[in-house]
Amino acid sequence: MNETHAATAAELGAQLERELSTCRDFRGRKPKATEELVRALFSKRSRFGITRVGSLTRLDRAGVAVVQVVRPLSLSNAVSQGKGVNVMEAAASGLMESLECWAAELIAPERIKVASARELGDEIRDLYAGCRVHGFDAGWDQLRLGWTDGYDLFTARVRPVPVAMVDTIYTLPSPHPIAFPRSTRGLAAGPTMLAAIIHAALEILERASVAGAERYPRSYPELRIDPARVAGPLSSSMLARLEAADLAAGVWLVPGDHDMPVFRCQVLETQRHREIAPMPGEGFACDFTYDRALARALMEAAQARVTALAGAREDITRAVYPERYDREHLDACRQAFLSPSGTTALPADRDEPVSATTALTAVLGAIKAAGGQAALVVPLYSSKDLDLNVVRLVVPPLRDLVRE
């Protein structure tokens, strides 16, 4: 198989220029190509340590396909999930999620250098000072940290990135001193490097907005949307599936410092059907249009229910399944979801980007508006045979979800 574990950060600029000049479909693969990718990855699953790809769809009734991918020797979660309108889309999503973490475990030692932030200079120290886990830790810049090269999309420069903000080696004890938060934010895969970067950027914008709304609800009040007044073809189709399954949806438009649509959604069973899971599933998404962002958030909320029902992920603890549920709270949520009181309609939808260049410009502009001081791409893996690229996008000093 014609593959490398990554291009170098120095080569990334030239690769992006080529893709921007030739790439017309930055969204991803067509249905036939998606099926071909799934079959190719499945046939080579042992190369990536994947032992199982199985459908969880029938654990729930929401009409969203959910697939589970198991990689037992993972250094983070051994179980990944994928979602889609059909099983092939869900399988591709789950396989990509698993491969993202696989690729982020395999940063070659020669790509890592050890230094303190102070040794790298004031520019680098100041760039990452706002990313610290403990803001009061005045001595963080003297810690001996691993660094790898990233390509800054803002300045077209190669700059060092803390490996702790790139890799997914979540073993205990940690291979990194406690300085920066550990999450999978900004880890993404796509058929091209450009598609992976845009995917990563949308996730970073989503989580930054949700984090701001949770920390400062008065400054960033969420706007509850009436599902009955949603007209977009993708999101209204998803809402119709949920309604047919006797699931009520709560929809909130999350404000932020950028203009990209971000949604938070919850789905919860109504009382018209025998209860399966008395808990709301929650999902988030950011995209270029209200319709696409809302459809993705609803789909993720439905997936979250199935994930809880399966109970196989290591990060789903016993606390998710209390001995007694707060029935009064659940009923209040259900009634609120079904009532139009306090809701509003979505604004007129935005236009989709007409080109890859327009899409990249839009997400980079949104990242700057949200306070990002750099947009550092670390290439992790590429395979020409599979048309697969994995990257990590690091945007200091944007913060993640509070609960992470």
In tens, the pLDDT along 306-325 reads 999 998 888 888 888 888 88
- Is pTM beyond 0.85 here? yes
**pLDDT attached to residue 31:** 73
Query: In which band, very low, low, confident or very high, does the pLDDT at 6 lie, cut at 50, 70 and 90?
Result: low
- Asked whether the predicted pLDDT for residue 156 surpasses 60, the reply is yes
Q: In terms of pLDDT, which residue wins out, 25 or 204?
A: 204
Neighbours of 364 (CB within 10 A): 18
Helix (H) or strand (E) holding 150: strand 145-152
Tokens 């303190």 belong to which residue? Answer: 116
Out of 32-46, 367-381, 382-396, the most confident range is 367-381
As a whole number, mean pLDDT of residues 371-393 equals: 94
Neighbours of 276 (CB within 10 A): 13
**pLDDT attached to residue 3:** 55
Query: In which band, very low, low, confident or very high, does the pLDDT at 25 lie, cut at 50, 70 and 90?
Result: low
Query: In which band, very low, low, confident or very high, does the pLDDT at 402 lie, cut at 50, 70 and 90?
Result: very low
Give the C-alpha separation, 102 to 149, whole Å: 19
**pLDDT attached to residue 350:** 92
Helix, strand, coil percentages in the chain from 3-state DSSP, rounded to 5: 40, 20, 40
- Cβ atoms 62, 267 nearer than 8 A: yes
**pLDDT attached to residue 4:** 53
In 3D space, the residue among 232, 233, 300 whose CA is nearest the CA of residue 266 turns out to be: 300
As a whole number, mean pLDDT of residues 81-87 equals: 95
In 3D space, the residue among 123, 122, 145, 121 whose CA is nearest the CA of residue 133 turns out to be: 145
Query: In which band, very low, low, confident or very high, does the pLDDT at 404 lie, cut at 50, 70 and 90?
Result: very low
Residue 259 CB partners (closer than 8 Å, separation 6+): 366, 369
As a whole number, mean pLDDT of residues 333-341 equals: 90
- Cβ atoms 125, 74 nearer than 8 A: no
**pLDDT attached to residue 302:** 95
- Cβ atoms 168, 107 nearer than 8 A: no
Beta bridge mates, 67:
55, 82
| Residue type for position 124 | I
Mean per-residue pLDDT of the chain: 91
Give CA separation, 295 vs 33, 182, 186, 249, 290, in Å.
Answer: 22, 28, 20, 12, 8
Lowest mean pLDDT among 223-237, 347-361, 368-382: 347-361
